[in-house]
Amino acid sequence: MRKRRRAESLKQRWLVTIITPVAFVLAAVVLLFSAGIVSYYYQSISANLTEKAMAAAEWMNNSNVSSYSEYYRVAADLTRTDGDKDKLELQFINSGGRIQASSYGITTGTSPRTSDISIAMESGEPWVFQGHDPVTGEHIIAVSAPLTFNGHTVGVMRYVTSLDKVNRQVMVDTGVACLAGLAAMGLVLVVSLLFINSVIKPVVSVSEAAKRIAAGSYGIQVENRYEGELGELVQNVNEMSLKISQSEKMEQEFISSVSYELRTPLTAINGWVETMEQDVEEGIDPEELRRGLGIIQKETNRLTNMVEELLDFSRMQDGRFTLRLQPIDLQAEFEDTVYTYRSLFRQEGIELNYDSGEIEECPIIEGDPERLRQVFCNVLDNAAKHGGSGRRIDAAFELQSDAMVITIRDYGPGIPEAELPFVKQKFYKGSSKARGSGIGLAVCDEIMRLQGGEFTIANAEGGGAVCELRFPTARDYL
């Protein structure tokens, strides 16, 4: 029910947004059309009457008459024989404003009292009147053209017609325009409803899915039956939901893993502290004491490394993770790390081989020695942790034309192909059961990015995994 109400609300807002401006536009079009029709009809009639009035006045003015009575007779004959008297009324009006002759006859002797008569006689030019007849109240158009006799204006020839039929035709045309506008509005409404129904349903589904995701239902998927932008929107929401679910799962696994990783060394430390306290009361065995102190030191170092990784990860998240660059000999830094780890790996039964590449002179680059040593240690430790079953690790340093490349390969079981794209993501541990927080490689990748290098991990031919650290020999540092 709630989903339906939301859909109806969206539909109403959409219709108001679309239909309102369309209605205004159509109304404006109808009004402009009506005004144009009225103007066209009135101007056409006015021009036609003006032409006729001037022609009649010119004919009268050019007639060869010697007296006013004869002039009046010619005007009366002209009005009586007018060929348009079924549609128009031709009037001969004297200088006093009274009709002396008319093609209709019934108006003879009356005074029209419209402005066109007096203005035409005063100005000597034809004049048009449009409005209501002061006598009958009828809507008319009248045109008066001045008449001259012996150099004096003696009256006007006036054509007049009713606009009732024209107005009715205008109303018909306006009604047709209104019907066309309503039809267009109906078409817009139907198309809008069809479009709205095709859009609102997926939008509401996506909105509901987004609310469920926000409420914690990570991983839910919206059925994607749409194409174009809507299909892309649903796909993006589904991908977002899946990624949030994966991130949530990795975060939970990270919390669980870190809790376990912290608990294990703390338990070992606590156990050996209790053992040594008991030995103090019963007599301390020096060998046992050294063994216990060694374990405490080892577990303390592990806790320190984990805390450092967590601090580095926190700095990465809020943008405080930076490098302190200085000129360094990269090969020397890496070899120091290799020699340190060689003895440690030997104690665990792992052989660490190193190929220096017989480089005569290694280029000096800008780098952070502490951070780079962190990368070297983490990668070597990772190779021993995950590939130690192969009992062998190969490290090599190579100088290429544009970069220095460090490779570290183990001979363990390798990495499942499906997990390779994710091994450098934070919290990701995949199917590995090895101990760790799952953020060490993510920190290494960030260090290499800031260094301007590349960090890649892949499966090696013949088994095991290989890590490659590529450092450009030329780079602009800020």
CB 292 within 8 A of CB 278: no
Query: Where among 168, 194, 210 does a domain terminate?
Result: 168
pLDDT of residue 89: 87
Of 133, 148, 168, at which residue does a domain stop? 168
**Claim to verify: residue 237 and residue 89 sit in the same structural domain:** no
Domain co-membership, 455 together with 425: yes
Does 12 lie in the same domain as 136? yes
pLDDT digits 0-9 by tens, 378-412: 899 888 888 877 889 999 999 988 899 999 999 98
Helix, coil or strand: residue 105: coil
298 plus 382 within the same structural domain: no
Q: Are residues 30 and 152 in the same domain?
A: yes
Low-confidence ranges of the chain (pLDDT < 70): 1-11, 14-15, 83, 198-201, 215-220, 222-230, 246-265, 272, 279-285, 302, 305-306, 309-310, 312-320, 426-438, 474-478
In this prediction, residue 431 carries a pLDDT of 62
Are residue 250 and residue 371 in the same domain, yes or no?
no
User: Which domain, by its residues, includes 260?
Assistant: 228-318
Q: Could you give the CA distance from residue 177 to residue 183 in angstroms, rounded to a whole number?
A: 10
Same domain, 105 and 47: yes
DSSP 8-state class, residue 413:
S
Q: Same structural domain for residues 143 and 14?
A: yes
Q: Are both 280 and 380 inside the same structural domain? A: no
Query: For residue 280, what pLDDT is reported?
Result: 62
> Do 350 and 251 share a domain, yes or no?
no
Of 149, 108, 124, 133, give the one whose Cα is nearest residue 54. 124
- Boundary (domain end) residue, out of 293, 318, 343: 318
- Asked whether residue 212 is domain-assigned, the answer is no
- 11 and 136 in a single domain? The answer is yes
Q: Is residue 208 part of a domain?
A: no
Determine, yes or no, domain membership for 192: no
